[in-house]
Amino acid sequence: MTHDLADGGWHRLHPATPLLRGGIVLIAILGFVVANFRERLIDWLFGAPELPGDPLQTAYERGQLGWAALVVAGLLLLGIASFFLSWRLHTFRIGDDVVEVRSGVLFRTHRRARIDRIQGVAIDRPFFARLFGTARVDISVAGQDAKVQLAYLGGADADALRGEVLRLASGARAAEAQVDTAHPSPPGEREGIVNQRVRELLAPELDPSLAAPESVVKIPPGRLIGSLVLSGFTVMVVLAVALLLTTSMLGRREFLAFIVLPGLVAAIGYYVNRFTKTLRYSIAGTPDGIRVGSGLLSTNNDTLPPGRVHAIEVSQPLLWRPAGWWMIRINRAGAAGEATAQASTTMLPVGTIDDARRVLELLVPGMAGSETGRLVDAGLTARRGEGFTDAPRRARLLRPFSWRRTGFARGEAALLLRGGFVWRRLVVVPLARVQSIRVSQGPVRRGLGLAELTVHTVAGPVRPELAVVDREVAREQFEEWSAAVVIAIDSDRSHRWAERPDDERGRSDET
């Protein structure tokens, strides 16, 4: 049964947290030590440099087996006590304005995250945690290393907490956006524990009533496998293997045993990991933003609230071009530097051009049927013109292959930059998310009458820049874009997407 975890009080994590965060590892390590190094342990405990036969039998014959068992039990109890104390002292609180987490035994930490700066709420369900019906909640906040993590909560509690946090971030009144988290007859009371765990393992969300709508994109397993095979990583693996095999044929066979075989095992592990993490991919729009989910054994569902997309890149590697596949990544605050940054910034791992359009319609509201939508289509397929200001012909001296595709355009609420020859790409930057614009040139570009145009956003995999544009055109666009950015930022209300205008005026009057 779910609890009201957003009532402003302090709460603890799931009771199984100590086990999931290291208790099993501790038991496994101790078991390994006892099973494989017991002779050394007995030698250290009883001072017998050479004990004939079974050390445990010898300890038993000397009447010292109880001491050995007492030491092992003491270590186990010490480990369990430390994990239990860490769980007792790890508490969190969800208030109207902040999320707070207190943790630590010897060294205490207290982290606070402002609700209005939340960039996303992700629910990760590692396979082992799913067996216990638990999940990890990651609340991303603007700022470097500003994530607040709650590991672990009950599955239904995690779903309900995400809804409450997003409701608070949206600015909606509690009476207008109530998340139904109180089930009069929880699933766990109607079915056995085994059936409940099986249902949870098969469901994309532990609470099906809170699941996102049907995905707008489906990725067949065959396409996913093909995208992994036709990737830059595969090219590097093939080149490395060819080089090492050539070296081994020249008499250096040790390279084959110590480098090639371990490298192939690592490469297979990489492919399996990427494949299982991307299976069951889904993306859909919800009232609280875009819900992206994926995973087979371990699952992840990330909700990206409105206005949190700072830049979008639609790209097509050379090897994907015959198949017509595209990939979409974004820049989002708080994701740079994270271990899971690649997963949290990938909105479409691989898809057709129609899939890319459907995902872009979620990321850029109002794109369908608008001037921005037409420019996006031109940016993906056209090489010159079609509403874009292209690089001049003299730019071919610096970009001999990609100068024809290099260009920019401005839609109703976004800037569009296209370029690339081997790796085609189209970058879309919402005007309200632009942080600054830079026009620069070195001596070579100055002599050619060219300049480099850069649009600054939060850090991420997307780099909105054009290496070659006409200098005078760049100066004109710098002035026009700067003015348009100021207007867009002043009129942007996406950070409190559910707040009514009269609510905002009332809060302004109070201040």
- Statement to judge: residues 244 and 318 lie in one domain: no
**H-helix or E-strand spanning residue 186:** none
Domain region containing 170:
1-213
| Cα–Cα nearest to 311, from 328, 325, 288 | 328
Cβ atoms of 176 and 168 within 8 Å: the answer is: no
Tokens 């609510």 sit at which residue?
503
- Is residue 292 situated within a structural domain? no
324 token code pair? 């017509």
Strand, helix or coil for residue 312: strand
Rounded CA separation 365/289 (Å): 11
Q: Measuring CA to CA, how many Å separate 259 from each of 172, 234, 243, 263, 274?
A: 58, 17, 11, 6, 22
Tens digit of each residue's pLDDT (9 = 90 or more) over 367-388? 777 888 899 989 988 888 888 9
Q: Look at the chain and report how many structural domains it folds into.
A: 3
- Is residue 243 situated within a structural domain? yes
- Per-residue pLDDT at 177 exceeds 50: no
Mean pLDDT of the chain: 80
- Statement to judge: residues 46 and 67 lie in one domain: yes
Tens digit of each residue's pLDDT (9 = 90 or more) over 19-52? 887 655 656 665 655 555 555 555 555 555 544 5
- Per-residue pLDDT at 1 exceeds 50: no
- Statement to judge: residues 272 and 134 lie in one domain: no
- Statement to judge: residues 23 and 69 lie in one domain: yes
- Statement to judge: residues 388 and 312 lie in one domain: yes
Where is pLDDT greater, at 6 or 188?
A: 6
Rounded CA separation 418/385 (Å): 11
Cβ atoms of 440 and 488 within 8 Å: the answer is: no
Tens digit of each residue's pLDDT (9 = 90 or more) over 466-488? 999 999 999 999 999 999 999 99
Rounded CA separation 219/348 (Å): 9
| 189: confidence class by pLDDT, cuts 50, 70, 90 | very low
Indicate the residue among 213, 230, 261 that finishes a domain. Answer: 213
Tokens 């590097």 sit at which residue?
236
71 backbone dihedrals φ, ψ, rounded to 5°: -65, -45
| Per-residue H/E/C for 298-311 | CEEEEEECCCCCCE
Cβ atoms of 151 and 20 within 8 Å: the answer is: yes
Helix then strand count (H, E) for the chain reads 19, 20
**Cβ-based neighbour number of residue 401 at 10 Å:** 10
- Is residue 99 situated within a structural domain? yes
- Is residue 314 situated within a structural domain? yes
